[in-house]
A and B are shown apart, each in its own frame.
Chain A
Amino acid sequence: MHATKAAAATASRSRQRSPGSAGWQYFVRHHPFYVMLVPGIVYFLVMKYMPLLGTVIAFKDYNIFKGILASEWVGLQWFHQLFTYPKFLRLLENTLLISLYQIVFAFPAPIVLALLMNELRMMTVKRIVQTLVYLPHFLSWTIVAGLVYMLLSTQTGLLNGLYVSWTGNAPIELLQSADSIRTIIVSSGIWKEVGWGTIIFLAALTGIDPSLYEAARIDGAGRWRQFLSVTLPGLLPAIMVLLLLKLGNVMDLGFEQIYPFINPLNAEKGDVFDTYTYVAGIKGGQYSFTTAVGLFKSVVGFLVLVLANKASKAATGEGLY
């Protein structure tokens, strides 16, 4: 350790022997690039690193009037409270299950859609389809939830109305039932984001060398074999990167997506860490406690990401870093 430092020091000293140090000259020569770097660095410092300091309140009894520094240290009290909270396991289970459903159903959806859209030969049709499937992405989650209510509500819902008038049965209580809430959340999420998600896969598809398809055709590969031996390997790097990023976010479901759907009747299976932190933290004023929850989520996400990246590197040789 010391030896390498010393070596580095002598090396830099010997470089500095030339009039005006080489490093400085390099800096001066390329100074426009360093100037361009400043806004990015400032952004990360102000928006990402400074708030990180605020996470100390997870270990303090934060009081808005005293401020962060003056609040008392309480050690791991909030974490203790979280892990012994009676509904902790329920929150963990809901969060992980919805995340799992998203990985199983919502993650492959844009891949399949991109593959289908890639088969469209008429350019005008392709453009129209693309525009149409991108549109829902620009709606807010609140509006999407509103649309779902307009379809499924027992009094005014279009689908429920049709169901009642055709069968004469009582309306189905989908939005009030704990059993269907996860399905509704995941599928409305797919509807909103599937088109937008195709963009990256369509780009990856255009990046595949067309002569690979031709070589496969000459060797007698049918459509399916071309898909397996050219398309899928061509998409694999993009799929792996996105899957790893998704795994890093297993604990983050997005508050906005879920909160509009939660009501006392379905909270048992729909309540997740994100909605719970909102209710307890912002509404209940328990800032320190919810910061501890947030920190717990981040640590878990980080560990999952590191493990998944290792596994991916061992299996495919590809990883995020």
Chain B
Amino acid sequence: MNPVTVQNLSYRYPGQSAPVLEKVSFTLDEGEIAGITGPSGSGKSTLLRLLAGLEEPECGVIRIGGQIVADERRSVPPERRGVGMVFQDYALFPHLRVADNIAFGLHRRPRRERRDRLAQMLELTQMTALAGRYPHELSGGQQQRVALARALAPAPALLLLDEPFSSLDAELKGGLREELGRLLRQARITCLLVSHDRSDVRAICGRELALGGSAGDDDAAARRIVDSVRVCRGKAGDASQQAGRIAESSQ
């Protein structure tokens, strides 16, 4: 039972003739951290938006946690999909303190649970001391940790990260990559990360899914997830073999 299964997913933006994604298929394993790479404009962000429920697919099926969240007929709204998302620019609420940002998605839970979960998330991301600050009073790396804590707080089945390092400078990035990888493994969450930089993916992810799309490629094939089953960490070995099969079967 895979927590995330995507089959023959196609999408085009309204009013556009060419599809952004065409027949994309892949699966993720429980607790797997996978990375999507691809050139700019290849549809990486679009794929994450489809998984999160911010866009509805043209055709194809998305299953998250055993439940069909999107197919031709239905589309489950984002809040009931059990996904968390870290946006490219973090999208922290500027007028809320760190603690309130993190607790934003917990407002329906009982107060006690909310408090415990908040404390747990602050501790996980080592933000306890800064819980009373506003986002503009934080460094880029701290903002990223807050965004991560906010996405993880409601305990989603799947975590999506869009270009988590794009707004950080190269020097900061090195250390943060390690730290993010450690945090994600510690949180034991199934995770899909997008980056245009393959070294990010190699540093953090167990598997790389390449989204093609360079102009020269054959059209249909280019928009699928083509290949790239790369093992970066011993842990993810099994997953990679399986993914290889799935990637091939989607061709």
Q: Which A residues fall within an 8 A CB radius of B? A: 209, 211-212, 214-221, 225, 229-230, 233, 236
- Is B33 engaged at the interface, CB distance under 8 Å to the other chain? no
- The smallest beta-carbon distance between A87 and chain B, in angstroms, is 47
Cβ–Cβ < 8 Å partners of B95 in chain A: 233, 236
Residues of chain B in range 51-109 having any CB-CB distance to chain A below 8 Å = 52-54, 77-79, 83-85, 87-89, 91, 93-96, 104-105, 107-108
* In the bound complex, CA of A290 to CA of B24 (Å): 78
Q: A residues within 8 A CB of B107?
A: 220, 225
B150 at the interface (CB under 8 A from A): yes
Whether A233 lies near B79 (C-beta < 8 A) is no
Instruction: Check if A214 sits within 8 Å of B79, measured CB to CB.
Output: no
Given that A209-B89, A209-B91, A211-B89 are contacting pairs, would A218 and B96 also be in contact in the complex, using a CB cutoff of 8 Å?
Answer: no
Known: A211-B87, A229-B104. A217 touches B93 (CB 8 A): no
How far is B85's CA from A313's CA once the two chains are assembled, in angstroms?
34
B154 at the interface (CB under 8 A from A): yes
25 CB < 8 A contacts A-B? A212-B91, A212-B93, A214-B52, A214-B78, A214-B85, A215-B87, A215-B91, A215-B93, A216-B104, A217-B79, A218-B53, A218-B54, A218-B78, A218-B79, A218-B84, A218-B85, A219-B105, A219-B150, A219-B154, A220-B105, A220-B108, A221-B104, A229-B104, A230-B93, A233-B94
Query: In the assembly, what is the distance between CA of A230 and CA of B95, in Å?
Result: 9
> Is B78 a contact partner of A229 (Cβ separation < 8 A)?
no
> In the bound complex, do residue B85 and residue A215 qualify as a contact, i.e. CB atoms below 8 Å apart?
yes
Distance in Å: Cβ of B84 to nearest Cβ of chain A: 7
Main secondary structure of the interface of B (DSSP, over half): loop
Q: A-side binding surface: helix, strand, loop or mixed?
A: helix
A212 to B54, CA, bound (A): 12
A-B contact count (CB 8 A): 55
Cβ–Cβ contact A214 & B91, under 8 A: yes
Across the interface, which residues of A come within 8 angstroms of B108, CB to CB? 220
Provide the bound-state CA to CA distance between A269 and B130, in Å: 56
Chain B residues with Cβ below 8 Å from A221 are 79, 104
CB distance from A65 to the nearest CB of B (A): 61
CB-based contact B150/A214 at 8 Å = no
Bound-state CA distance A211–B89 (Å) is 8
Distance A25 CA – B88 CA, assembled complex (angstroms): 45
CB-nearest residue of chain A relative to B134? A317
CB pair B91 A217 closer than 8 Å:
no
Complex alpha-carbon distance, A211 and B49, angstroms = 11
Contact A229 B105, CB 8 Å, known A217-B78, A218-B83: no
Contact of A220 among B54, B79, B91 (CB under 8 A): B79
Q: Are B96 and A214 in contact (CB under 8 A)?
A: no
Give 11 A-B pairs besides A219-B154, A230-B93, A233-B94 with Cβ atoms closer than 8 angstroms: A211-B89, A211-B91, A212-B93, A214-B52, A215-B93, A215-B150, A217-B77, A218-B78, A219-B79, A225-B107, A233-B93
Cβ of A205 to closest chain B Cβ, rounded Å = 15
Expressed in whole angstroms, the Cα–Cα distance for A221 and B150 within the complex equals: 14
Given contacts A229-B96, A229-B104, contact A218 B52 (CB under 8 A): yes
Q: Quote the shortest CB–CB distance from A224 to chain B (angstroms).
A: 12
The CA of A218 and the CA of B54, in the complex, are separated in Å by 8
Q: Is the CB of B54 within 8 A of A217?
A: yes
Expressed in whole angstroms, the minimum distance between the Cβ of B240 and any Cβ of chain A is: 29
How many Å from the CB of B108 to the closest CB on chain A?
7
Q: Which of A214, A219, A230 meets B54, CB within 8 Å?
A: A214
Q: How far is B204's CA from A229's CA once the two chains are assembled, in angstroms? A: 33
Which residues of chain A have C-beta atoms less than 8 A from B53's C-beta?
A: 218
Closest chain A CB from B146 CB (angstroms): 12
Give Cα A217 to B53, complex, Å.
10
Chain B, 31-54, contact with A by CB distance < 8 Å: what is the 0/1 string? 000000000000000000000111
With CB as the reference atom, state the residue of chain B lying closest to A229: B93
A156 shortest CB reach to chain B, Å = 52
9 A-B pairs closest in CB distance: A219-B105, A220-B79, A211-B91, A233-B95, A215-B91, A218-B78, A211-B87, A217-B78, A219-B104
Contacts of B79 in A (CB 8 A): 217-221
Interface hub of A211, A225, A236 (most chain B Cβ within 10 A): A211
- Measured between beta carbons, the chain A residues less than 8 angstroms from B52 are 214, 218
**Residues from chain A with Cβ under 8 Å of B85 in the complex:** 214-215, 218
Which B residues, 134 to 150, have Cβ-Cβ distances below 8 Å to chain A? 150
Contacts of A233 in B (CB 8 A): 93-95
CA distance A211 to B108 in the complex (A): 22
Give Cα A211 to B163, complex, Å: 14
CB closest residue in chain A, given B105 = A219
CA distance A230 to B104 in the complex (A): 12
Distance, CA A218 to CA B93, complexed state (A): 13
Interface centre among A209, A217, A219, A230 (most CB of B within 10 A): A219
